Amino acid sequence: MITDEVRRVLLTAIDLYPQASEVLRRQLVRLDEPLRVAIAGKVKAGKSTLLNALVGEEIAPTDAGECTKVVTWYRDGPSPRIVQFPQGKSLPVVRRDGALEIALDGPADRLVVDWPSQSLRSTTLIDTPGIASLTTANSLRTTHFLSPEDSPSEADAVIYLMRHLHSADANFLESFRDQGVARATAINTVAVISRADEIGGGRVDAMISARGIAGRYRADSSLQGLCQNVVAVAGLLAFAGRSLRQNDFMALTALAALPREELESSLLSADRFVDGSVERRALLNRFGVFGIRLAVTLIRQGVTEPSALAAELVARSGLLELQKVLHTQFGERRHLLKARSALLALDGVLRAAGDSRLTGAVERILAGTHEFTELRLLSALRSGAVKVPDAELASRLLGDEGAHPLVRLGLPRGSGPGEVGQAAFAALQRWQRHAENPMLTRRSADACRVLVRTCEGLLTREGARPPR
């Protein structure tokens, strides 16, 4: 198991480099902790809102004006607790209307929030201040946190939010990539087109439009080398859906019962809708103009249960798609991503020490772990550095859409071992044939051999029966 190998080499390193033992020990602990996923993006991209949607509770403060000022960690814990660093001071846990309120006590460089939550069990989420902010200090904090100049990054993976691909976004993604890890960072970044409902001006078909744009970005070669995938998500809607309350539902049902003309005229603008009413104002803040238009339409089309409405809102928000992508890109590769972070840190130590005693061991892990090879090939395919025939099949086989053998082989769910064996064998033959094709460049042929190796792995997996 890769984690064990990394642990072994870390332990050896601790003995060899006592001066760096603290850094290395931290990496050792980190190997057993949940994966750390940072949420980054330009100011007001909707980072905190998306974090809340992923957790299903309002634990990250959000606001229309600039809001998140320090890097804040949200991790699973037995009971709610907020600690402010560098002082290490505990802050009172205050909730108003279900929303967690954090009042900083003096200058802070980091907040750690412990929160009992199923969603945080396997991943720690890290909320960051927006980049390209007018308050430069806040933006710098994020840049420094995610790509520090002198130490390895604290995050294992990044969800990058952008409203439209702005040059500031590309610069950021690129600087993140540049830090000595070259193209490989594309494997731990997922891009999200956030506040997706607003892209279409809040029209009822807005999400369709947003998905189309995400598709275009996915195909955009300048982004392919920078991230694994692009998904459109309306975080506000997702959160409203996940936390839909009975009184919200009643208010929406009442709206849906209004005469069509009256409703249409009041939904023309936010001002018209609120019209001095406190309740409506609160509803609008929770759902957004698009959320209200959509919910009312759904109710009119016959959704009668709060739970059904909630499910529909979440589904339309794109959250499920994001969760799925996060699962395949990050969740299933958890060990690999953590091992990678640890090896990066170790590499830093080795370089600083100017010593090569462990270099061989590190190289062995990197070159010897087939999953790493797969990841590298995957990102090489994405960025176009390597070309193979049947590139889409190749990406899928390498686990681009999920690590499960059925997914890799493109088989329907529930296929039996016989079918898996057959498909894997066919794939094996295909890639062997390609590997021997004299027309291919040496690099492409090598890539095909990596794929052959993947097929062999699938065949030797327990239960898969190769055809006779």
Partner 1 sequence: MATSPQRAIELALAAIKRYERPDLEQRLHQARARLADDQVRLLVVGEFKQGKSMLVNGLVGAPVCPVSDDVATAVPTVVRHAETPVVTLVRAEGRTEVPLEELPRFAAEEGNPGNRERLLHVEVGLPRPLLAEGLVLVDTPGVGGLSSVHGAATMAALPSADAVLLVSDCSQEYTAPELEFLKQAMAVCPNVACVLTKTDLYPEWRSIADRDRQHLADAGIKAEVFTVSSTLRWHALQTGDQEVNTESGYPPLVTYLRKKVVAQADLLARRSTLHDVLTVIGQVVDSLRAEQTAQENPESVQQLIRELTEAEQRAAGLKERSARWQQTLSDGVADLNADVDYDLRDRMREIVREAEDALLAGDPQKIWDQFSVWAQQAVTSAVSANSVWATQRARWLAKKVAEHFDSDREQMLPALRVGTSDPLRSVPELAVRESDKFGIGSRLLTGLRGGYGGLLMFGLIGSVIGLTLINPISVGAALLLGGKGIVDERKRITTKRQNDCKVALRKYVDDVSFHAGKDSRDMLRGLQRDLRDHFTTLAEQLKRSLTESIQAAQKSVKASHGDRDARLAEIKTELAALERVVKQVTA
Ligand X SMILES: Nc1nc2c(ncn2[C@@H]2O[C@H](COP(=O)(O)OP(=O)(O)OP(=O)(O)O)[C@@H](O)[C@H]2O)c(=O)[nH]1
**Residues in region 92-151 near partner 1 by CB under 8 A:** 132-134, 136, 139
Stretch that binds ligand X, among 56-64, 111-119, 172-180, 250-258 (CB under 6 A): 56-64
What is the C-alpha separation between 245 and 242, in angstroms, rounded?
9
- Decide if residue 125 touches ligand X (CB under 6 A): no
CB of 38 to Mg ion, least distance (A): 12
In this structure, are strands 123-127 and 81-85 parallel, antiparallel, or unpaired?
unpaired
Nearer to partner 1, 399 or 405 (CB): 399
Nearer to Mg ion, 27 or 128 (CB): 128
Q: Which one among 20, 36, 57, 62 touches ligand X, defined by CB under 6 A? A: 62
Nearer to ligand X, 234 or 424 (CB): 234
Stretch that binds partner 1, among 49-57, 87-95, 194-202, 455-463 (CB under 8 A): 194-202
**How would you class 129 by CB atoms within 10 Å of its CB: exposed for 0-12, middle for 13-18, buried for 19 or more?**
buried
Q: Reduce the DSSP state of residue 152 to 3 states and report it.
A: coil
What is the C-alpha separation between 226 and 221, in angstroms, rounded?
9
Interaction residues for ligand X, span 227-256 (CB under 6 A)? 234-237
What is the C-alpha separation between 104 and 91, in angstroms, rounded?
8
- Decide if residue 66 touches ligand X (CB under 6 A): yes
Stretch that binds ligand X, among 62-70, 151-159, 357-365, 397-405 (CB under 6 A): 62-70
CB of 110 to ligand X, least distance (A): 15
Task: Work out the angle between the directed axes of helices 370-383 and 359-368 (0-180°, nearest 10).
Answer: 70
Q: Which one among 201, 417, 463, 466 touches partner 1, defined by CB under 8 A? A: 201
Q: Which of Mg ion, ligand X, partner 1, none has residue 459 at its interface (CB below 5 to 8 Å by kind)?
A: none
Contact mark string toward partner 1, 420..449, x via CB under 8 A: ---------------------xxx--xx--
Nearest-CA neighbor of 350 among 23, 49, 55, 4? 23
Q: Give the tokens for residue 311.
A: 């499910």
Q: Which of partner 1, Mg ion, ligand X, none has residue 343 at its interface (CB below 5 to 8 Å by kind)?
A: partner 1
Nearest-CA neighbor of 293 among 329, 260, 340? 260
What is the C-alpha separation between 303 and 396, in angstroms, rounded?
37
Q: Residues in the chain, how many? A: 468
Nearer to Mg ion, 71 or 303 (CB): 71
- Decide if residue 9 touches partner 1 (CB under 8 A): no
CA-CA-CA-CA torsion sign (385, 386, 389, 391): negative
Q: Which one among 23, 54, 146, 450 touches partner 1, defined by CB under 8 A? A: 450
- Decide if residue 200 touches ligand X (CB under 6 A): yes
110 DSSP β-pair partners: 85
- Decide if residue 44 touches ligand X (CB under 6 A): yes
What is the C-alpha separation between 17 and 24, in angstroms, rounded?
9
Backbone angles phi, psi at 467, to 5 degrees: -65, 150
Q: Give the tokens for residue 230.
A: 């692009």
Nearer to ligand X, 198 or 371 (CB): 198
Backbone angles phi, psi at 355, to 5 degrees: -125, 145
Stretch that binds partner 1, among 2-10, 143-151, 174-182, 307-315 (CB under 8 A): 174-182
CB of 60 to Mg ion, least distance (A): 6
- Residues binding ligand X: number (CB under 6 A): 27
What is the C-alpha separation between 199 and 288, in angstroms, rounded?
13
Nearer to ligand X, 1 or 64 (CB): 64
Q: Reduce the DSSP state of residue 96 to 3 states and report it.
A: strand
What is the C-alpha separation between 41 and 194, in angstroms, rounded?
10
237 and 313 Cβ atoms separated by less than 8 Å: yes
CB of 163 to partner 1, least distance (A): 8
388 and 36 Cβ atoms separated by less than 8 Å: no
Nearest-CA neighbor of 338 among 149, 114, 76, 154? 154
Q: Which one among 29, 64, 134, 137 touches ligand X, defined by CB under 6 A? A: 64
- Residues binding partner 1: number (CB under 8 A): 73
Nearer to partner 1, 201 or 410 (CB): 201
CA-CA-CA-CA torsion sign (212, 38, 21, 332): negative
CA triple 452-366-155, angle to 5 deg: 115
Nearer to partner 1, 261 or 462 (CB): 261
Q: Which of partner 1, ligand X, Mg ion, none has residue 399 at its interface (CB below 5 to 8 Å by kind)?
A: none
Stretch that binds partner 1, among 109-117, 196-204, 320-328, 409-417 (CB under 8 A): 196-204
Q: Which of Mg ion, ligand X, partner 1, none has residue 49 at its interface (CB below 5 to 8 Å by kind)?
A: ligand X
- Decide if residue 288 touches ligand X (CB under 6 A): yes
* Residues in contact with ligand X by the rule CB under 6 A: 43-49, 62-64, 66-68, 129-130, 195, 197-198, 200-202, 234-237, 288, 290
